[in-house]
A = this chain, B = another copy of it.
Amino acid sequence: MEIKILKNVMHANKKVAESNRAAFKNKKILAINIMASPGAGKTSVIKQLINNFKDILNIFVIEGDIAGSIDAQKIEAMGVSAVQINTGGGCHLDANMIATVLNESNIPDKTLLLIENVGNLVCPSTFDIGENIKMVIASAAEGDDKPYKYVPMFECADFVILNKIDIIEHIEFNHDFFYSGIKAISKDTPVFEVSCRTGEGIEQMVSYVKDKLKSFGILD
């Protein structure tokens, strides 16, 4: 009974997600679904992408949080349009929430759409919101064992960011163990090590996103 209902919900969500994806294609929007634990650096990664792309293309940000608008305020302070979704306790964004933003906001053609999901390394992995790419951020401060414990999240990732590498010397973090966990799930998932605080590694991450923007026909 419960499972049947969950399947219906998932099926309805999938349909709306496909319609979102069609709208993105139509408008040449590249939508990145950014997922991570609370405090892993989702907003910091978004700010780095804004700094690196705002002079060459349109950027629009959707901020998902169960409450508050702290992050949307940070983004608007950078002169970039942002919409805050409050899930009211809900543990993930779903396709309908994104569809509502698409209907109500005038997102221009050829836009990099950065969607910050609710801070949660479990639930968002199972909800397609129509994104083109799934980015998963792990914070080095969370430890090296996350790929072993949160398998569905790392399994769904198109690419992984290992953030906060500037503090790696002050903690215990076994690189080999972390990478073995990722490789056990998917051999080819790219991983970029960055520090949003010092700027280390940001260039490689930006270059990866730039390639995606080119392959979607958004950048020449």
A89→B150 CA distance, assembly (Å): 8
Total count of chain A residues near the partner, CB < 8 A: 39
A39→B37 CA distance, assembly (Å): 9
Query: Does A152 have its Cβ within 8 Å of any Cβ on chain B?
Result: yes
Within 8 A of B (CB), among A8-56: 9, 37-40
- Residue of B with least CB distance to A5: B5
- Between A38, A167, A170, A172, the greatest number of chain B beta carbons within 10 A of the residue's beta carbon is seen for A38
A1→B4 CA distance, assembly (Å): 13
CB neighbours of A167 from chain B (8 A): 141, 167, 170-171
Q: Pick the contact of A122 from B2, B5, B118, B152 — CB < 8 Å? A: B118
- With A37-B37, A37-B38, A167-B170: A65-B149 Cβ-Cβ less than 8 Å: yes
Query: Does A130 have its Cβ within 8 Å of any Cβ on chain B?
Result: no
B119:A37 contact, CB within 8 angstroms: yes
B5:A149 contact, CB within 8 angstroms: no
CB neighbours of A40 from chain B (8 A): 142
Within 8 A of B (CB), among A149-185: 149-152, 164, 166-167, 170-172
Scan A76-89; emit 1 where CB is below 8 A from any B CB, else 0.
Answer: 00000000000001
Q: How many chain copies?
A: 2
A150→B68 CA distance, assembly (Å): 9
A119:B118 contact, CB within 8 angstroms: no
A68→B149 CA distance, assembly (Å): 6
Query: Does A91 have its Cβ within 8 Å of any Cβ on chain B?
Result: yes
A166→B172 CA distance, assembly (Å): 12
A7→B5 CA distance, assembly (Å): 14
A66:B123 contact, CB within 8 angstroms: no
A141:B66 contact, CB within 8 angstroms: no
Within 8 A of B (CB), among A131-155: 139, 141-143, 145-146, 148-152
State the 6 A-B residue pairs at the shortest beta-carbon distance, nearest first: A39-B142, A141-B141, A91-B122, A37-B38, A39-B143, A37-B37
Residues of A within 8 A of B (CB): 2, 5, 9, 37-40, 65-68, 70, 89, 91, 118-123, 126, 139, 141-143, 145-146, 148-152, 164, 166-167, 170-172, 197
